[in-house]
Every structure is written in structure tokens, then in C-alpha cells.
Amino acid sequence: MGEETLKVNQRLEAQKRLGKLIQGHYSYAREVEKKKDQLIAWTTSGAPNEILWTMDFFVQFPEAYAATCGAKHAAHAHCVITETHGYERHLCTYCRNSLGSTLAEIEGKGAFDPLARPDFLLVANNSCILITKWWEHLSHYWKIPMINIDSPLIVPGMDQKEIVDHVKRQCMDLINFLEGFTGKKFDYDRLKEIVANGKRSAEGYREVLNANRHDPVPATFFDLIGHNFPNLVLRFKPEAEEHYKMMKAELEQRISDGIVPMPNMKYRLYWDGVPYWFAIRNLSEKLQSLGMCLVTSTYFEVFAFERLDPSRPLDSVAENTAMFYLNRSVNYKAEVTEKIFKDFHLDAGVFAYALSCKPFSISMHYIADTIQKKLSAPVTIIEGDLVDETFYDEERNNMKLQALAETLAAKKR
């Protein structure tokens, strides 16, 4: 299809539906908090959350909340509160946002749209070491119980089955604890149903992401990042599968109709790392002005949950936790990134170094070097942070993006 026949439409209809799903989730949280007819759990992205849903907890995610605070430019105020309580500025800004919001809520200082107050905390250390301490401090402030699921880092030479079995034993311990905590018996048939919903949601999520293998793409990375929400927060419900089914159909229709998300797409780019949530609009506009379209990212892998299997529900939940993307070796991540570059026919990479996020950033230079050497693909490393705007130098990062565009133009000649 020639460039002259393409039509630009930046807005996906799926965005409206996503907004309703998000609003519905948080509105219902307020109702649960008010009526006190359902226990509320705060949990991490990689925890065995199917167990919580089976036990009828209303589950909230402080990491997702931090991203929202960053996008709404509310996180900095929460981070400042943590500094007044003696927390170091270099700590993960998701953590600082969460603790700052908690302290603001407890002390009546006016947190930004705070999460519904929790009754129980679940954390898995498969994303970083800090996260367990973060949850311990939440437990201290809210004065509620917390359980940590230990998931050792999977590196070459380790017995993966042994690690999965180790996680499964802890899942059994979690179930036993929750039966006592709630006074309810764990329903394994309900777990099977929830895992089946999660599997269909995960498959739909992957199909949506794979739509961007097409050239030209029907959506940008920035269009897609919010759509991790259903697969993270709502995958236990049929609504998540339905959202991805409708979104896939929309993307396929855009491909058929020659609709693209931005004009003048010259280059297909990869994004590595967590988005700088407060800078998405500025980054999107800058990249578009340079003809550079962000297509995909290993960030999406964090929300894949593709090991769920209703024929072996508890084992697959344990595998999902143990084999979490951030819990893998740097060589594994480099191999995944290389495959993504090939599958999506990418021209270059933007590596977004986050000064306080070690899980993504500590391996970033190695992966960037690997891509440059093995694929001869230009890359640039920009710097900032997840939700704290004070770490971000827009002028400096724009200069790096400009230089990358010039490198690509020279390579094309």
C-alpha cells in the first residue's frame, strides 16, 4: 500500500473502552471500601494473584497506581512526603509514590486518588529485591499482615523445576493462611475457572501486540501501553478477553483500511524499559517529528502471563510467578530482545534508563550493546525515571533522539 493511500487516525476506539474498564475498577474499589463486604489486597504484578481472586479478594496494584500518578503529574508530591520521613531520594520512585500516598492518606495530607485501604498484602520478589522491603513498610504503616513469595532468580544452570516447586509450596502455604484469615475454604474449581479466563486474556493480549508486526503499524507503543491493564488487573474476568478480542478486530480493520497512527513514519523503533509516565506526550510528539515510530517493547513481556493453563491450574500459577520476565538472566533478556527486533523488523532502539529502577536498567547497557553488535542496529540510551519528573532532562534526551534520527537517515542513504 503506497504512502499516499494511508490515512492517519491517532485515536483507537479501544481507548474509550479501556477508560471505562479502569474507571469501573477504581469506582468499584471505593464501593468495596465503603461497604466492607469484601476483603481488599494490595499485591505486586508478578505475584500468584489468581489465588487472591479465587478467595474473593478485591485486588489492587500499587505499581499500576504509581504509573497513573506519574501520568497525572501527582507522583512528585508523594515522593516529597517520603523524603520528609527520611527515605532516600534514590529509592524506586514507584515505591516512594506508594509510601508517600500511604503516609498522606494516614496523616490526612491529601493523597492523589488513593487506593482503597488494604486488609492484606501479597508480594513476590520476582521483579526486584527492593519490592519486599517496600511491602514490609506498607505492612508497618497499615498494620496488616503480609506474605512474601520467594522466587529465586533463574540463571543458566539452575534447575527450573526445583524453583517452580519451591514457589508452588509457598502458594500452598498462602492458600492455607488465607483459609484461616478469611474463614473460607479454597475452591479449586473456581481457581480453574479463573486460570482459564486468564489464559484467554493472555492470548488476546499477545495477539494485540503482534498486530504491530505489520508494516505500517496500526498503533504505536504509546497507544498500546495502557492496554496491559486488563491483562494485569482484570484477567480473571471474561471482560479482559472480550476487550482484546474487540481491540484485535479494530487493529486488523485499521490494517485493512490503511489507517496509521502517525504521519511520516520512516523508522520502526524498539523501546526498552518502563515508560517515563509523565513524559509520554512530549516523547510521542518528539519522536513523531523525527519520523520515528515506537512499535514494541520487552516492557510488554512483564504483563504476558502466558504460562497459565487450566488443565494444571496451581502448577501453572506457580510457573507464572517463578518464570516472570524480570526474574530471568540478562542473557535470556538479550535473546528475547533480539528476537523482537527480528520479528517486528525494527530499525533502531531507544533504551530508557530509569535511575531508580534496577531490574530494568542494570542490564540495559549489555542488551543495547548486544543489539548493536549482532544486528548492527543503532541505539540510544536516554535517562530519566519512572514517575519522578525531577530526574528528567528533556532537552538532553531530545538531543539524543535527534542524533539517533540522523544516524538512521545516514544509514538509509
Contact status, residue 380 vs residue 88, Cβ threshold 8 Å: no
The CATH architecture annotation of domain 15-187 reads: 3-Layer(aba) Sandwich (3.40)
Residue spans per domain, the chain = 15-187
DSSP element (H, E) containing 99: helix 93-107
User: Which grid cell is 208?
Assistant: 494485540
Q: Whose CA is closest to 368, among 356, 359, 377, 355?
A: 377
b/e map of 101-114 (b: 16 or more CB within 10 Å)? bbbbbeeeeebbeb
Helix (H, G, I), strand (E, B), or coil: what is residue 348? strand
| Run means of pLDDT, 10 residues per run, the chain, 413 residues | 71 95 96 96 98 98 96 95 94 96 94 95 94 98 98 92 97 98 98 98 98 97 96 98 98 96 95 96 96 97 96 98 95 97 98 90 94 97 94 96 97 81
Q: Can you give the pLDDT at residue 88?
A: 93
- Helices 93-107, 75-84: axis angle to 10 degrees equals 80
Q: Can you give the pLDDT at residue 3?
A: 55
Q: Can you give the pLDDT at residue 1?
A: 45
Beta carbons within 8 Å of 264's beta carbon, 6+ residues apart: 288, 291
Q: What is the pTM of this model?
A: 0.95
Contact status, residue 58 vs residue 32, Cβ threshold 8 Å: yes
Q: Can you give the pLDDT at residue 338?
A: 98
Q: Can you give the pLDDT at residue 48?
A: 98
